[in-house]
Amino acid sequence: MYLMDFRRPSALSAARQLIIQAITRAAGRDCTVAKSKLIGMTGDEAVAQAAKICDVDVVAAYPITPQTIIVEAFSNYVASGEIKTEYVCVESEHSAMSASVGASLAGARVFTATSSQGLALMHEILYIASGSRCPIVMAVANRALSSPINIHGDHSDSMGSRDSGWVQLYCENAQEAYDTTIMAFKIAEEINMPVMVNLDGFITSHCMEGVSTIDESTVAKFLPAKKLNGWLLGEHETLSMGALCLPDYYFEFKKQQEDAMHAALPSFEKTSMDFAKTSGRSYKAVETAGDGDAAIICMSSTAGTIRTMVRDSGEKLKVIKVRLYRPFPAQQLKEALKGVKSVTVLDRACSFGAPTGPLGSDVKSVLYGMPESTRPAIRNIVYGLGGRDLNPTELSDIFAEAHKAAKSGKFTTESGFVGARE
Amino acid sequence: MPGTDRVPIMKKTTYNKPLEIAWLGRGGQGVVTACQTLTKAALLDGEYSQAFPEFGPERTGAPVRGFNRVSSEPIDVHNQIYEPDVVVVIDPTLIPLLKEMGLKPETKVIINTNEAVVGGVMGKVFTVDATRIAIDIFGKPLFNTPMLGALVKVTEVVSMDSLKTTITGRFGGEMGAKNFSAIERAHKEVKPL
């Protein structure tokens, strides 16, 4: 359950409030975070602080707006002696990921961060990281890809890497960025796969909000012990990693990788439950708020904006936030879509020439498996590229179209771009 | 400012907004510091708050906008602020940009100026000579922090105690004390036009 009501005490009677508090506590979600414990930090600072308390061994990173503050803050912690991490100043993101792979294969707990062009530059090594089963955690402050150069938030960068075999999690705000970074290490090390923690560039990365932090000793108990696998580089006299593999066996490696990727979903769910015991905050692969026969599916910060608008305006809309994007939580999404007659999928990235945007494409694949009689009408919208805001007027129009389609059974408005000048 | 020709026609929304504040200044004048100080003070008060900047070309002297939201309830919206409740103009040369800030007759506009008359600005205008206060106290035109004092007097958005704790925590020792004196003086001197 992802209840919003409990946070507006003035709107509830005391008795109803108590009942809701009991339910949310049972769901593992603390409904009275002590306000005095909230510390002001930006999304980037939150990620750096989370990585700081995870006992990271190696950070190899290169700065790029809007992620720069993550590595700046982290390098300050290293320079001041607050943490013992080997900080490698590399000359590009390609080297950052290469160094990360090397360190990870030697058994180190590795963290790095990038955005946009940086993620694009390290693209070939992303596949090496996942193919070599390195449990690297990387924060990506999602930013538009050039050209033209744009430093603002959209999902083009991480969507461009969605096939690279990295687990992808999307965070809505600074608190989620903090919590997800910590959970990422546990998931990565359990399944031996790299994990990408995404937060919206500028919108989350540079937005200061109140964050409830966890102390280092608690995190140490939450995270697994450091890995000392039998296959560490240097431990054996003769060992190659990522060597040539001919058609006779390559395919089986990829099958194992795909199996590991699917294991990420139960791993995320279990980690989330453990994290809820540690912090009082619980997270799901797919989160639903509100109710209605029209649904909006989106990711990251936009979900919070839409959820608030729906709650405060009394709209009858289901707001479905996809938090775990890779592996795609098909089963959870199908459950969330029960009884829904129209679905509007918001994509903050454009897959040029594709029938729909990336998230839209995955949702449609899931929906195709449903019997035609219960399959909802679907509209895919590409919005917000280059940091363009989806304003309340445009959102109201989207809601209105969603309701119309739920009544009539099909959308009369096309899928396509919303918010761009004609 | 980027994208300002796309100012939306705001339909009447029924949802309750947190208090929304916009800051107008130039790169290097400390708009981001002022916003973040406000958010930290609000958190100390037990409120929820956001502080976020909007940059055009990232360079000293280019116009910069900063934004704050403050609420007694958690804030989940992350879109831009189109019609702020309060606008703080820390550089008077940016008064012409106010027409792009979504002003309404009830918007409170607090301007750093020594002019007795500020024409052509919609809203309830307040003025304070923050530059003079800064020169008197610091010897330099560090007028972002005094504007915080003026903002608190006009809106009571955060308590002076929390503001003092935050500002002295950010700038330790003598600088912290001077900053708070500047805040207190602007708090006293800000007046409606």
Contact A173 B35 (CB under 8 A): no
Find all residues with CB under 8 Å of A263, minimum gap 6, and list them: A191
Give chain A's end-to-end CA distance (angstroms, integer).
Answer: 40
Work out the number of other CB atoms within 10 angstroms of the CB of residue B101.
24
Q: Stretch B7-33: mean pLDDT, rounded?
A: 76
Contacts of B47 in chain A (CB under 8 A): 35
Residue A27 has pLDDT above 70, yes or no: no
Contacts of B6 in chain A (CB under 8 A): 421
Confidence of residue B118 (pLDDT cuts 50, 70, 90): confident
User: Would you say the ipTM is above 0.85?
Assistant: yes
- Can you give the pLDDT at residue A227? 66
Tokens in use for B118? Answer: 């500020």
Q: Stretch B75-84: mean pLDDT, rounded?
A: 92
Task: Please give the single-letter amino acid code of residue A403.
Answer: H
Nearest CB neighbour to B36, from listed A208, A393, A421 = A208
Contact B53 A305 (CB under 8 A): no
Q: Stretch A338-363: mean pLDDT, rounded?
A: 96
- Can you give the pLDDT at residue B5? 54
Contact A203 B52 (CB under 8 A): yes
Contact A391 B82 (CB under 8 A): yes
Q: Stretch B68-76: mean pLDDT, rounded?
A: 94
Q: Stretch A349-367: mean pLDDT, rounded?
A: 95
Among B158, B166, B165, which Cα is nearest to B72's?
B158
- Kindly report the nearest CA distance between residue B171 and chain A, in angstroms: 16
DSSP assigned state of A75:
H
Contacts of B53 in chain A (CB under 8 A): 202, 206
Order of strands, edge to edge, in the sheet holding A294-298?
Answer: A286-289, A318-322, A294-298, A342-347, A377-382, A416-417
- Kindly report the nearest CA distance between residue A305 and chain B, in angstroms: 4
Confidence of residue A43 (pLDDT cuts 50, 70, 90): very high
- Can you give the pLDDT at residue A106? 85
- Kindly report the nearest CA distance between residue A39 and chain B, in angstroms: 7
- Kindly report the nearest CA distance between residue A399 and chain B, in angstroms: 13
B53/A contact by beta carbon, under 8 A: yes
Among A211, A207, A122, A200, which Cα is nearest to A156's?
A200
Distance from C-alpha of A373 to C-alpha of A395, rounded to nearest angstrom: 28
- Kindly report the nearest CA distance between residue B193 and chain A, in angstroms: 32
pLDDT in tens, A266-314: 999 999 999 999 999 999 999 999 999 999 999 999 999 999 999 888 8
pLDDT > 90: percent of chain A: 81
pLDDT in tens, B102-113: 999 999 999 999
Q: Stretch A329-350: mean pLDDT, rounded?
A: 96
Contact B48 A35 (CB under 8 A): yes
Contact B53 A393 (CB under 8 A): no
- Can you give the pLDDT at residue B56? 74
Confidence of residue B16 (pLDDT cuts 50, 70, 90): low
Contact B6 A203 (CB under 8 A): no
Residue A115 has pLDDT above 80, yes or no: yes
CA distances from B94 to A5, A286, A420, B150, B158 (A): 41, 45, 28, 18, 26
Distance from C-alpha of A195 to C-alpha of A187, rounded to nearest angstrom: 8
Q: Stretch A15-42: mean pLDDT, rounded?
A: 53
Residue A15 has pLDDT above 60, yes or no: no
Residue A327 has pLDDT above 60, yes or no: yes
